[in-house]
Chain A
Amino acid sequence: RKEVEQDPGPFNVPEGATVAFNCTYSNSASQSFFWYRQDCRKEPKLLMSVYSSGNEDGRFTAQLNRASQYISLLIRDSKLSDSATYLCVVNGADSSYKLIFGSGTRLLVRP
């Protein structure tokens, strides 16, 4: 079983749609959780960290369910510029300095 699992997609949605991505992680000792965004042929960049209570940043909402070892990202009112791959990331159980990346979920927002 992979340490971090994501649906690879692609998710193909129209502008203005709401889309949700899910992610599961295997190590219950993980403490830090993130969503990174990666544009085509570019490096990953931090989108947002994920807090236990859930958190929102504009059109983006992240949720964490520790009991189910499940992380989600909700994007409301999708824009063309949201087209990218979204990587679910958790820290290694033995270190907050080690990050483990999922394979990513690809999002295509069409006009």
Chain B
Amino acid sequence: EAGVAQSPRYKIIEKRQSVAFWCNPISGHATLYWYQQILGQGPKLLIQFQNNGVVDDSQLPKDRFSAERLKGVDSTLKIQPAKLEDSAVYLCASITRRPGGWNEQFFGPGTRLTVL
């Protein structure tokens, strides 16, 4: 089974520039997440999609971050304009329901963003 795909793996931009990240979840997974992981911290949820609808975007800085999942499959996360504090790894994840009734999250390899 193919895993969660993300691109690019690395991106270096200057502050105030724009950047976009792409994610393709595991085939058939309806729920997709974007996380931000700053060095030394755990992943922080930015947005959760169920198919093409947003379930939770309460921690998404909407003045500069946007995300879409138009066809309910792959997703794009955009930052415009970027700030120095946006330097982080952006992780995409999707979930599988396990027999015990709990959900296992599978993460993509992440996109490491450096804002100069």
Contact = CB atoms under 8 A, between A and B. Distances in A.
Are A and B part of the same complex? yes
Interface of A: 4, 8, 32, 42-46, 49, 87, 89, 91, 95-104
B112 to A, nearest CB: 8
B43 A44 contact: yes
Contact of A102 (B42, B107, B108): B42
Contacts of B105: 46, 99
Nearest to B6: A43
B102 A43 contact: no
Interface string B94-109: 0100101011110111
Nearest to B45: A98
A100 B40 CA distance: 15
A104 B38 CA distance: 12
Contacts of B44: 101
Interface of B: 31, 40-45, 48, 50, 55-56, 91, 95, 98, 100, 102-105, 107-110
Contacts of A104: 41-42
A97 B95 contact: yes
A96 B45 CA distance: 14
Contacts of B95: 97
Given A43-B107, A46-B104, A49-B100, A97 B42 contact: no
A51 B31 CA distance: 24
Nearest to A89: B42
A71 to B, nearest CB: 14
A82 B48 CA distance: 31
A107 to B, nearest CB: 15
Contacts of A8: 40
A4 B56 contact: no
Nearest to B56: A98
10 contacts: A42-B109, A43-B109, A43-B110, A44-B107, A46-B104, A97-B55, A98-B45, A101-B42, A103-B41, A103-B42
A100 B104 CA distance: 13
B52 to A, nearest CB: 16
A99 B41 CA distance: 15
